[in-house]
Amino acid sequence: MTRIKSKIPSTLLEPNPGQEFNNLLMKYNDIESWIDSEAPNPGQNSEHNRGVSVHERMTALPPILIVDDDSDDLFILKHVLTKAGVENAVVAFQDATAALSYLVSENKRLGRLYVPCIVFTDFNMPRLSGAEFIQAIRHEAGIDQLPIIVVSNSEDPRDLQAARTAGANRFLIKYPGIPQIREIAAEFCCKLQ
């Protein structure tokens, strides 16, 4: 609790915070405990410990794109990627339409430095669903082969089938564990500590 309170601005820590704030804090605490219990200890010879700057790592590695309409889920997946030792920068969007615009513009940019090496996306989203998002990527030359991993709360076999039909490479139930994320990251171009 102390570790989490240190991340929260003191103006939010009133003597009697609202129940919603307490629930969010408890949820964050539970997630932190779960992630910490699965996290590997980074090796002493990692680039981080050898003094390579964050900027050098971010510009040398393609980013990871994550798309989820729920900000808590974005936070959790970013945190799991970090705890899994993934050193690639993470680009996150809460809207699949904005994420698609980003992908298309980066694909057309000379050098394609910021085209991601992998996409993690939710499946049930407003405006542009996960299936529509995946199909749009699969029909865009230059990014049509991007690995796409669906991370969803849905256990409905119809959603799994729809994701596969749309062109997803994998379908994971929220929240995948650190070993599973490390395996996927290593398979699809990410650099691990």
Which pLDDT tens digit goes with each residue over 97-116?
A: 999 999 998 888 866 667 89
- Paired tokens of 65: 């794109």
Each domain of the chain, given as residue ranges in start order, spans 60-193
Average pLDDT, the chain: 76
Considering the chain, what percentage of its residues have pLDDT values greater than 90?
48
**Has residue 162 got a pLDDT over 90?**
yes
Q: What is the pLDDT of residue 31?
A: 52
Count of positions (residues) in the chain: 193
Give yes or no for a contact between 92 and 121, defined as CB atoms under 8 angstroms apart: no
Highest-scoring range by mean pLDDT, 24-28, 63-67, 87-91: 63-67
**Has residue 93 got a pLDDT over 50?**
yes
Comparing CA positions, the residue from 89, 90, 94, 91 lying closest to residue 73 is 94
Q: Sign of dihedral through CA atoms 151, 155, 160, 166? A: negative
Mean pLDDT of 35-39: 50
CATH level 3 topology of 60-193: Rossmann fold (3.40.50)
- Using pLDDT thresholds of 50, 70 and 90, give the confidence band for residue 190: low
